[in-house]
Structure 1
Amino acid sequence: MAGNLVLKQKMDEIGFKQDELAAQMNDALLRITGRPGNISVRTVRNLVSGSTRRPIGRTRRALEEVFGCSLGDLGFETSRTAAPSEEPMERRTFMTAGPVAAFSTTASALTAPHRIGSSDIERLQRRFARIIASDHRHGGQLVIEQKAAALSEDALALQTSGTASQRIRSQVYASAAAFRSSAMWAAIDGRRFEDAIGHMRIAQQLAEMACDPFIKFRIWSHAGTMYRHMGRPADAAAANEVARGLSLTRRDPMFSSLGLARHAAIHGTAGDRTATRRSFDQAQDAILRADPGAQRPVWMIAFYDQAELDSLALSAYLSLGDFARAEFHGHRCLSALRPHMHRSKAIATARVARAQLEQGDIEPAVASAMSVPVDQAVRHPRVIGMLGAFGARLEAIAPGTALSHTWNQYARDTWRTTA
């Protein structure tokens, strides 16, 4: 028996499991009649399976109240004449409740509350995917930060727009936390650290309300990166340890790998060569063990892979002054980057240029620096800072040379053209 497919679809749209629908129906009966309902999971199971094809009495009233529509709209059989066993219950209800209750029930049917369901969650997730795509293309922009923060507020406003199951409410909070974590990351990427800390605190609260380990990992992992960029390796390590301590890092080696790789970058900032090498070796081992087909959040799928691991290694070994090893990881990163990773490509290219320069390979260093896409070179705060430091270091290493002149002329023309 296929069961009541219409009811199943309605439950899926709202996010109701059978026990949750039973609870909602009992709450509805309490509102309608003033007496607690006694709808059981078995009753709901019979409704879904098709064993009950024409609900009557309190069951019918509860269904229509919860879904805000008629039995026919829920896939049940209907009749112009109520079943005999239904009439006494209806008459008792209206006799004891009186005309006020009858009016309230009618008004409730006309103004049924909005039900927040899976379609609302899917809409939030599509918006989140667009934020992720925009970040990978542009990165660090204030407009991305502001848009992500506004979408977080929109998600929270959805909580007050209607009723929902606890599962759906948790997903709404998780979406709000995800948007806020993207605002946090845009602020980190744009070197607006005080704003990033503000977004972080809100995101952490929302993630706790969502009870979502994936978004908790993202927020605390971002926090570790933020403190690393702020030159606070002890705080960075503490924050990243929170992310690494979540149970999902034991279930999925991909999350374990990301946590280890970011910890290695923190060790690099702290100047600990041994710990840096050990953590990267462990991160490499974990990513090779990870199931590439496992289900993961869109933000994880969109950015973490072998190329990102090598990008973190490039950063760490630059910090340690191991420029040959840094350049090695930089070329590996650039050869494996996916086409949509515009921001990552610009950052890796600027870092490779610096690694080449520090090894005395001035001509390839200048060529690498000049290959950074112009839109990133003049708009992304991190890339601007890297190329500025590159120019200053080039002038210190090879002052007055033809290559130094070439770079300075290129930089002036680029900035003037795009000003």
Structure 2
Amino acid sequence: MEANRCLTEALGQSGFTQAELAEAVNDYLRSLGRDGTVSDRTVRHWLTGKTRWPHPRQRDALEAVLGRSVGELGFRPPADRRSPARTEDPVHRRNFLTAVTGTTAAVVPLVAARPYAVGTADVIRLRSGLDALTALDASKGGHEALERAALAGASEALGLQKRAASQRIRQRLFGVAANYTASAARSAMDAWESDRAHGHLNRALYLAGMAKDPVAELQVWNLHAMLALHRGEFSQAVHAGQAAQATAVTRRDPLFASLAHARTAIGRSSIGDRQDALRSLGHAEEALAKAGTDESRPSWLAFYGPAELLALASVVRDRTGDSAGAEAASHRALSAIPRHFRRNRALATLQLATAQLHQRDADQACASTAKVFALMRGNALPGRMRSYLGDFHRDLITLAPGSGLVREWEDRYRSEWSQAR
């Protein structure tokens, strides 16, 4: 018995798990008024080659869901049989295929009018749009167009849940809507629109509750902790970090627990609670060491790992009076943060400059800020980053009032800084 490599490849490229492929095939069959009886075991038989020629309706559904002919999917009829005529309406199959696969050109897919109940394929399609927004955010930072696109994705998910094929699909669509709304909140936060971000986060928390999705809940509390810090509400940042720690997903995946502890650590360091801040940071490091690297996790969490924890540790150490330790952590973070996380690299570089300035190494700090502008060249600086540069500028003036160094920094960067406003 030879494994079906063509189907394995198509499955990998589609992003489906075996269970999700089974559910998508069943959704398609139900859209035609037929029973959906495909199980995870059925898919396993297809993949292992135990089943070489599925039932005609299943073949039609596989073509529609995966966008390839049964021959391209590695299926062959027995030598003494000819392939039977299709029993399914080709127009319906083309419409379904367009809905499932025709989304790569747009960041957030448009809704096509479809006669069938909304199922797994729709959820996956919407998630692919969310992944595209997440990648854009990592590169450019949040901006108004991204926020609008995220809200459009949330609206689409909520519209589709009214036609969900099952309660499970309805909850998953609520979860996708929560993810999109959280993405909109992050963009508003990056643009320094804190009130708008706060409204989005409250909405996202409601949607995550409707979805009964602890991962979405943690995402929202993580962003609530960040927003509270930006607004100077440091006690609220601690409470939000603790709420993230209390979500169910932290008990089954230590990577989520690590992120929640790290957010709590920053909140505690901001209120001057040095001992508890370092304790929370230690918990974050311990949890991260236990996290597996082969777990399936949402794309919004891709930024978090050893490098990002070092960047967050730099913030904690700088705020607890250990600027030398903060500088060392920033250097280590920058050596490991992936290049495509441009916004995060720029923020980590700015934190490095801040730690250097707090050690009164103003020349080196100013040189480090030059790299911030270089990293973000070609894109407007997000409002949050401009605000942090303003904090750096004020600290620089305090350290060296009226010095030529301050004037040189202003002359060199005021134009770039102002153009980004």
Q: TM-score range by the shorter chain?
A: 0.7 to 0.9
Quick check: which has more Rg, 1 or 2? 1
- Identify the residue that residue 73 of structure 1 maps to in structure 2: 88
- Identify the residue that residue 10 of structure 2 maps to in structure 1: none
Measured in 1, the distance between the counterparts of 2:229 and 2:242 equals 13
Task: Indicate the SS of the match to 1:178.
Answer: helix
Letter in 2 for 1:72: T
| Percent identity of paired positions between Structure 1 and Structure 2 | 33
- Please, which moves more after superposition, 391-400 or 328-337? 391-400
- Identify the residue that residue 263 of structure 1 maps to in structure 2: 264
- Identify the residue that residue 211 of structure 1 maps to in structure 2: 212
Instruction: Give the TM-score normalised by the residue count of structure 2.
Output: 0.72
CA gap 1:238/1:409 in 2 versus in 1, 3 angstroms = same
CA gap 1:335/1:309 in 2 versus in 1, 3 angstroms = same
Superposed CA offset, 1:260-303 (max 9, x none): 11111111111111011111111111111111111111211x21
Gaps of 5+ in 1: 30-38, 56-69, 75-110
- Identify the residue that residue 146 of structure 1 maps to in structure 2: 148
- Please, which moves more after superposition, 188-197 or 316-325? 316-325
Measured in 2, the distance between the counterparts of 1:402 and 1:386 equals 22
Q: Is residue 148–residue 182 contact of structure 1 (8 Å, CA) maintained in 2?
A: yes
Instruction: Please give the root-mean-square deviation of Cα atoms over the aligned residues, in Å.
Output: 3.7
Q: Is residue 142–residue 187 contact of structure 1 (8 Å, CA) maintained in 2?
A: yes
Measured in 2, the distance between the counterparts of 1:356 and 1:124 equals 43
CA gap 1:72/1:400 in 2 versus in 1, 3 angstroms = same
- Identify the residue that residue 120 of structure 2 maps to in structure 1: 118
Measured in 1, the distance between the counterparts of 2:332 and 2:136 equals 24
Measured in 1, the distance between the counterparts of 2:205 and 2:132 equals 22
Measured in 1, the distance between the counterparts of 2:201 and 2:184 equals 9
Superposed CA offset, 1:367-388 (max 9, x none): 0011113547952112211222
Measured in 2, the distance between the counterparts of 1:15 and 1:288 equals 40
1:416 is displaced (CA, Å) by 6.2
1:133 is displaced (CA, Å) by 0.8
Superposed CA offset, 1:330-372 (max 9, x none): 1111111111111111111112112111211121111001111
Superposed CA offset, 1:212-238 (max 9, x none): 111111112211221122222222222
Equivalent of residue 155 in structure 1, options 157, 164, 167: 157
CA gap 1:119/1:326 in 2 versus in 1, 3 angstroms = same
Q: Is residue 155–residue 175 contact of structure 1 (8 Å, CA) maintained in 2?
A: yes
1:155 is displaced (CA, Å) by 1.3
1:313 is displaced (CA, Å) by 1.4
Instruction: Give the TM-score normalised by the residue count of structure 1.
Output: 0.73
Q: Superposition pairs for residues 56-135 of structure 1, below 5 Å?
A: 72-73=87-88, 113-135=115-137
Q: Is residue 314–residue 351 contact of structure 1 (8 Å, CA) maintained in 2?
A: yes
Task: Indicate the SS of the match to 1:379.
Answer: coil
Q: Is residue 326–residue 352 contact of structure 1 (8 Å, CA) maintained in 2?
A: yes
Is structure 2 residue 326 aligned with structure 1 residue 311?
no
- Identify the residue that residue 358 of structure 2 maps to in structure 1: 358
Q: Is residue 381–residue 420 contact of structure 2 (8 Å, CA) maintained in 1?
A: no
Superposed CA offset, 1:178-206 (max 9, x none): 00011111122222121112111211121
1:143 is displaced (CA, Å) by 1.9
1:128 is displaced (CA, Å) by 0.3
Measured in 1, the distance between the counterparts of 2:26 and 2:272 equals 50
Letter in 1 for 2:356: Q
Q: Is residue 123–residue 172 contact of structure 2 (8 Å, CA) maintained in 1?
A: yes
Q: Is residue 226–residue 237 contact of structure 2 (8 Å, CA) maintained in 1?
A: yes
Measured in 2, the distance between the counterparts of 1:170 and 1:414 equals 45
Measured in 2, the distance between the counterparts of 1:330 and 1:40 equals 53
Measured in 1, the distance between the counterparts of 2:231 and 2:397 equals 26
CA gap 1:13/1:306 in 2 versus in 1, 3 angstroms = same
Measured in 2, the distance between the counterparts of 1:292 and 1:371 equals 31
Q: Superposition pairs for residues 377-392 of structure 1, below 5 Å?
A: 379-392=381-394
- Please, which moves more after superposition, 163-172 or 193-202? 163-172
Letter in 1 for 2:322: D
- Identify the residue that residue 192 of structure 1 maps to in structure 2: 193
CA gap 1:118/1:389 in 2 versus in 1, 3 angstroms = same
Measured in 1, the distance between the counterparts of 2:205 and 2:136 equals 23
- Identify the residue that residue 348 of structure 1 maps to in structure 2: 348
Q: Is residue 238–residue 263 contact of structure 2 (8 Å, CA) maintained in 1?
A: no
1:148 is displaced (CA, Å) by 0.8
- Identify the residue that residue 23 of structure 2 maps to in structure 1: 12
- Count of aligned positions: 344
Measured in 1, the distance between the counterparts of 2:22 and 2:115 equals 15
Measured in 2, the distance between the counterparts of 1:71 and 1:211 equals 40
Measured in 2, the distance between the counterparts of 1:17 and 1:154 equals 20
Task: Indicate the SS of the match to 2:88.
Answer: helix
1:415 is displaced (CA, Å) by 3.9
- Identify the residue that residue 139 of structure 2 maps to in structure 1: 137
- Identify the residue that residue 94 of structure 2 maps to in structure 1: none
Superposed CA offset, 1:304-350 (max 9, x none): 01111112112223333331122121111111111111111111111
Gaps of 5+ in 2: 1-6, 8-18, 46-50, 58-84, 90-112
Superposed CA offset, 1:245-272 (max 9, x none): 1222111111111111111111111111
Measured in 2, the distance between the counterparts of 1:112 and 1:182 equals 27
Superposed CA offset, 1:142-183 (max 9, x none): 2222211111111112223x4412222222111111000111
- Identify the residue that residue 61 of structure 2 maps to in structure 1: none
